[in-house]
C-alpha cells in the first residue's frame, strides 16, 4: 500500500493553487450535507401544513436523514477504497441530487422521507468519507492539514448554522420546496468543480465488501435511534427496540472480530477501537454535533410551535450561531499554531456549555426574540472552535492505509451525534411541547449533559498530540 501511495502521489498536483481548487468542492460538499441536516428545522410548520402531517412527522424525517447517514457512513468509507475516492464522491453527489429533486416534488410525508431521508442520506454517506480521506492524503503536514480541515469542518458548521437562515429565507420568499431545489443546484455546482479533483491513491479492486457487517451495524443503529424516537409515546417498545439494537451491535462486533481471526477483511477493523486518543476524540466529535444539531432543532421548534415565529424570523435568530461558527472557523489556522488541539477542544466545550446555560436562563418569563442570540452565539463559537482540532486528532492518529476506515468511523460517529441530538432532545421537547417552557428546559438540560460528557472526554486527551507516522503505526 505504501508503495502504491508513493507512486500515485508522484503525479499528483501539489501546488497551493491546485490544492485550493480541489479543496473547494470538498468543502462545499460538507456544507450542503450539514445544511440539509438543519434547514428543515425552520420549515416545521410549513411542511406540516402542506403535507398534512405533524411536528412529530417532520422530526421523524429529519432524524431518519441523519440516521441513514450515520448507519451507512462506515460502509461508505470502505466502498470508497474499492471504487476510488473520486468516483464514490461523484456517485454520492448524483444520488443526493436526485433525492433533493424528489423531496422538492413530494406530495406527502412518505415521498419526502424517500427523497430526503433515504436518498439524500445514502448520497451523503457515499460522498462524505471521500471528503476526509482525500483531504488527509492531499495535505500531509500538521499545519496545512489543520487549515484544510478547518475549511471543511468550518463549512460543515456554517452549513448546519446557516441551514435555518437560508431555509427560512427561501421558505418565506418562495416555498419550503424551493430549499431542496437550492440543494440540487449546489450539487450541480460541486459536480462541475470536482472535475479537477485528483485521487492520490488507486482503487483497491481486490477489496471484498463485508455485506453482513454492514447490515448488522446499520440495523443496530437504526433500532436504537428509532427506539429513542418513540420513547415518549411507547415506553415498552422503546426498551425492546433499544435492547434488540444493542444485540445487533454486539453481534456486529463479534462478527468483525471473527473475520479478523480468519484473516478476512471486516467492515471495520477492531484495531480502530484500541487507540485511546482517537477514541476520546471520537467522543468529542459525537458530543459537539449532538450539541449543535440538537440545539438547532430544539430552539427552532420551540420558537415556531410555542412562540409562534415564522420560518424567516426563526432563521434570522440563528444568524447568531452562524456568526459564532464563522468567527471561530476563520481563526482555525491561527488557533492551531498558538494552542494545543486539546486546549481548543476543551475551550470549545466550555464555551458551548455556557451557551446552554444562557439559553436555559430564558425559561423564566417571556424574553424577547433576540434574547436567544447570546446563547446561540456561544454554542456556535464553541462548536466551531473544536470542530477542526477534533477531526484532525482522529484522522492524524492513523496511517494512510487506514484512512478509509477511520474516516468512515469518524463521520459515522459525528452523524450519530447529530441524529441523537435531534432524536433525544427533540423527543423530550415534542413529547411535552404543549407545556412550552417546561419541555424546552428539559431538552436543553439533556443537551447540557451531552456537553459535559464531551468536556470530560476532552480533558482526558493527551496534552501533546502529534500525527502518527505510517511506519510507527504498522510497527
Domain match, 186 and 227 both: no
Return all residues near 174 (Cβ < 8 A) that are at least 6 apart: none
Q: What is the CA radius of gyration of the chain?
A: 21
Q: H or E stretch including 160?
A: helix 142-173
Number of domains present in the structure of the chain: 2
> Any idea what the CATH number is for the domain that residue 401 is in?
1.20.1250.20
Tell which of 236, 266, 296 closes a domain.
Answer: 266
Domain match, 261 and 281 both: no
Query: What pLDDT does residue 13 have?
Result: 47
Domain match, 140 and 248 both: no
Domain match, 80 and 181 both: yes
Domain match, 249 and 296 both: no
25 part of a folded domain: yes
473 part of a folded domain: no
pLDDT digits (tens, 9 = 90+) for 320-379: 888 888 788 777 667 777 788 888 999 999 999 999 999 888 766 666 767 888 999 999
Query: What pLDDT does residue 155 have?
Result: 83
Domain match, 287 and 139 both: yes
191 vs 396 pLDDT, higher one: 191
Domain match, 181 and 153 both: yes
Instruction: With cut-offs at 50, 70 and 90, classify the pLDDT of residue 3.
Output: very low
414 part of a folded domain: yes
Continuous H helices in 174-264: 176-193, 211-229, 235-261
205 part of a folded domain: no
Burial class (CB in 10 A: 0-12, 13-18, 19+), 49: exposed
Return all residues near 408 (Cβ < 8 A) that are at least 6 apart: 73, 74, 75, 76, 77, 78, 80, 129, 268
Mean pLDDT to the nearest integer, 91-120: 94
Q: Yes or no: say if 311 and 370 are a contact pair by the CB < 8 Å rule.
A: no
Instruction: With cut-offs at 50, 70 and 90, classify the pLDDT of residue 405.
Output: confident
Domain match, 255 and 306 both: no
Domain match, 34 and 167 both: yes
Q: Which residues constitute the domain of residue 237?
A: 215-266
Tell which of 266, 287, 307 closes a domain.
Answer: 266
Domain match, 86 and 190 both: yes
311 part of a folded domain: yes
Domain match, 384 and 325 both: yes
Query: What pLDDT does residue 4 have?
Result: 42
| Grid cell of 129 as nine digits | 468519507
Q: Is the pLDDT of residue 226 over 50?
A: yes
446 part of a folded domain: yes
Query: What pLDDT does residue 432 have?
Result: 64
Rounded to the nearest 10 degrees, how much is the dihedral formed by the CA atoms of 235, 239, 242, 244? -130
Domain match, 289 and 358 both: yes
Amino acid at each position: 500500500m505504501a508503495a502504491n501511495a508513493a507512486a500515485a502521489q508522484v503525479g499528483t498536483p501539489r501546488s497551493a493553487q491546485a490544492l485550493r481548487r480541489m479543496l473547494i468542492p470538498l468543502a462545499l460538499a460538507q456544507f450542503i450535507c450539514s445544511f440539509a441536516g438543519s434547514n428543515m428545522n425552520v420549515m416545521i410548520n410549513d411542511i406540516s401544513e402542506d403535507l398534512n402531517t405533524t411536528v412529530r412527522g417532520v422530526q421523524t424525517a429529519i432524524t431518519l436523514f441523519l440516521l441513514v447517514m450515520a448507519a451507512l457512513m462506515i460502509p461508505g468509507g470502505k466502498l470508497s477504497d474499492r471504487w476510488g475516492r473520486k468516483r464514490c464522491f461523484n456517485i454520492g453527489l448524483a444520488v443526493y441530487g436526485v433525492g433533493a429533486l424528489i423531496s422538492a416534488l413530494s406530495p406527502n410525508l412518505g415521498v419526502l422521507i424517500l427523497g430526503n431521508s433515504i436518498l439524500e442520506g445514502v448520497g451523503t454517506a457515499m460522498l462524505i468519507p471521500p471528503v476526509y480521506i482525500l483531504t488527509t492524503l492531499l495535505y500531509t503536514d500538521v499545519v496545512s492539514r489543520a487549515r484544510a480541515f478547518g475549511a471543511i469542518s468550518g463549512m460543515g458548521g456554517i452549513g448546519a448554522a446557516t441551514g435555518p437562515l437560508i431555509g427560512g429565507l427561501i421558505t418565506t420568499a418562495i416555498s419550503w420546496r424551493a430549499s431542496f431545489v437550492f440543494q440540487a443546484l449546489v450539487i450541480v455546482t460541486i459536480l462541475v468543480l470536482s472535475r479537477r479533483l485528483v485521487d492520490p491513491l488507486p482503487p483497491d479492486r481486490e477489496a471484498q465488501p463485508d455485506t453482513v457487517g454492514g447490515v448488522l451495524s446499520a440495523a443496530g443503529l437504526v433500532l436504537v435511534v428509532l427506539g429513542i424516537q418513540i420513547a415518549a409515546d411507547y415506553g415498552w417498545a422503546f426498551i425492546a427496540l433499544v435492547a434488540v439494537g444493542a444485540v445487533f451491535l454486539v453481534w456486529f462486533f463479534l462478527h468483525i472480530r471473527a473475520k479478523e481471526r480468519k484473516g478476512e477483511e471486516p467492515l471495520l477493523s477492531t484495531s480502530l477501537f484500541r487507540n485511546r486518543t482517537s477514541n476520546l476524540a471520537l467522543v468529542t466529535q459525537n458530543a459537539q454535533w449532538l450539541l449543535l444539531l440538537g440545539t438547532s432543532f430544539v430552539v427552532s421548534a420551540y420558537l415556531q410551535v410555542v412562540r409562534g415565529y415564522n420560518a424567516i424570523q426563526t432563521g434570522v435568530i440563528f444568524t447568531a450561531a452562524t456568526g459564532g461558527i464563522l468567527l471561530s472557523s476563520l481563526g482555525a489556522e491561527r488557533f492551531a499554531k498558538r494552542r494545543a488541539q486539546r486546549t481548543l477542544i476543551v475551550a470549545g466545550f466550555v464555551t458551548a456549555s455556557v451557551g446552554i446555560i444562557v439559553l436555559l436562563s430564558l425559561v423564566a418569563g417571556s424574553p424577547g426574540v433576540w434574547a436567544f442570540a447570546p446563547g446561540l452565539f456561544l454554542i456556535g463559537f464553541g462548536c466551531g472552535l473544536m470542530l477542526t482540532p477534533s477531526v484532525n486528532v482522529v484522522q492524524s492518529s492513523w496511517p494512510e492505509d487506514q484512512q478509509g476506515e477511520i474516516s468512515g468511523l469518524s463521520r459515522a460517529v459525528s452523524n450519530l451525534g447529530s441524529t441523537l441530538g435531534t432524536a433525544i432532545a427533540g423527543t423530550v421537547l415534542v413529547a411535552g411541547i404543549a407545556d412550552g417552557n417546561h419541555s424546552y428546559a428539559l431538552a436543553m438540560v439533556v443537551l447540557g449533559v451531552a456537553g459535559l460528557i464531551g468536556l470530560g472526554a476532552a480533558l482526558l486527551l493527551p496534552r501533546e498530540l502529534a500525527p502518527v507516522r505510517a511506519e510507527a503505526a504498522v510497527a
